[in-house]
């Protein structure tokens, strides 16, 4: 199909390695590639922390974190990090997880047991490197609990690569410059969330983040479904845009 003269357009949703293979083989054809993401939520010191923690939890745990646009990194300014983490832990403990066929559950299993084992292993690795496990990291087969890690550093694999599960790693930062550097510090450039009320900083993050969308006081993929998908770098192919809550 990739090389057939009868195919004009190739679309693919999946992992980066397969996406790169398709891009290399399907030459001279139009391509739409929806690949990985490592989306950050960035919480600045003026943010409404109750709102920010709620957005972070929803963005991380919806669909068991198995979305390319899930929140996979939580960048929080140091002055408000303690309170944000307290609220995030509270909201994480409120998530009911279990049998995906039980309508009373908020979250079910992940795709398979090997994936759940991988989440467990990458969290264990982060804890061994100095991160603090505050809640979660409990696995039963393919069921993996909502998990919060604090004191994560940008070099840890739990945030360097796409976890694709219900893990909430918190990275603390001091300055806006540091937040932008950390956010742009992975090969992924799908989307992002920003919690602040300052228009000057919103404008700056839109200009300087290497992502397809900057969602202000909202999490990725909760806006208008008719808008085009966006991203950069190993995310795939797209355009830049910004969206915000009304």
68 is a catalytic site residue: yes
What integer pLDDT is reported at residue 241 of this predicted model?
A: 39
Question: In angstroms, rounded to a whole number, what is the distance separating the alpha carbons of residues 232 and 148?
Answer: 28
| Secondary structure element (H or E) that encloses residue 31, with its range | strand 30-34
pLDDT band at 230 (very low <50, low <70, confident <90, very high): low
3-class DSSP string for 204-242: HHHHHCCCCEEEECCCCCCCCCCCCCCCEECCECCCCEE
**Mean pLDDT over residues 26-41, rounded?**
85
Question: In angstroms, rounded to a whole number, what is the distance separating the alpha carbons of residues 133 and 209?
Answer: 29
pTM score over 0.85: yes
Average pLDDT, the chain: 90
**Mean pLDDT over residues 142-157, rounded?**
98
**Mean pLDDT over residues 85-105, rounded?**
97
**Mean pLDDT over residues 28-41, rounded?**
86
**In this model, does residue 72 exceed pLDDT 90?**
yes
**In this model, does residue 222 exceed pLDDT 50?**
no
**Mean pLDDT over residues 44-62, rounded?**
98
> How much of the chain, in percent, has pLDDT values that exceed 90?
72
Q: Strand pairing of 191-195 and 132-135?
A: unpaired
34 is a catalytic site residue: yes
**In this model, does residue 139 exceed pLDDT 90?**
yes
Q: Strand pairing of 232-233 and 188-189?
A: antiparallel
What integer pLDDT is reported at residue 244 of this predicted model?
A: 40
Catalytic residue among 68, 120, 195, 218: 68
**In this model, does residue 228 exceed pLDDT 70?**
no
**In this model, does residue 63 exceed pLDDT 80?**
yes
**In this model, does residue 223 exceed pLDDT 50?**
no
């Amino acid at each position: 199909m990739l090389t057939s003269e009868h195919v004009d357009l190739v679309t693919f949703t999946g992992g980066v390695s397969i996406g790169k293979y398709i891009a290399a083989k399907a030459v001279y054809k139009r391509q739409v590639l929806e690949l990985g993401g490592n989306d950050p939520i960035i919480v600045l010191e003026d943010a409404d922390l109750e709102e920010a923690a709620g957005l972070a939890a929803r963005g991380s745990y919806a669909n068991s974190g198995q979305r390319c646009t899930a929140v996979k990194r939580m960048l929080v300014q140091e002055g408000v990090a303690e309170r944000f983490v307290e609220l995030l832990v509270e909201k994480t403990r409120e998530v009911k997880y279990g049998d995906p066929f039980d309508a009373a559950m908020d979250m079910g299993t992940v795709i398979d047991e090997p994936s759940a084992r991988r989440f467990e292993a990458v969290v264990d690795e982060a804890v061994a490197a100095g991160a603090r496990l505050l809640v979660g990291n409990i696995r039963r087969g393919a069921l993996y609990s909502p998990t919060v890690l604090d004191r994560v550093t940008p070099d840890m694999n739990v945030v360097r690569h796409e976890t694709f599960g219900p893990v909430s790693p918190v990275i603390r930062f001091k300055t806006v410059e540091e937040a932008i550097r950390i956010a742009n510090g992975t090969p992924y450039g799908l989307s992002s969330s920003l919690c602040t009320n300052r228009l000057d900083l919103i404008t700056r993050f839109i200009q300087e983040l290497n992502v397809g969308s900057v969602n202000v006081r909202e999490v990725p993929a909760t806006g208008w479904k008719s808008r085009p998908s966006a991203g950069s770098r190993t995310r795939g192919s797209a355009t830049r845009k910004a969206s915000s809550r009304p």
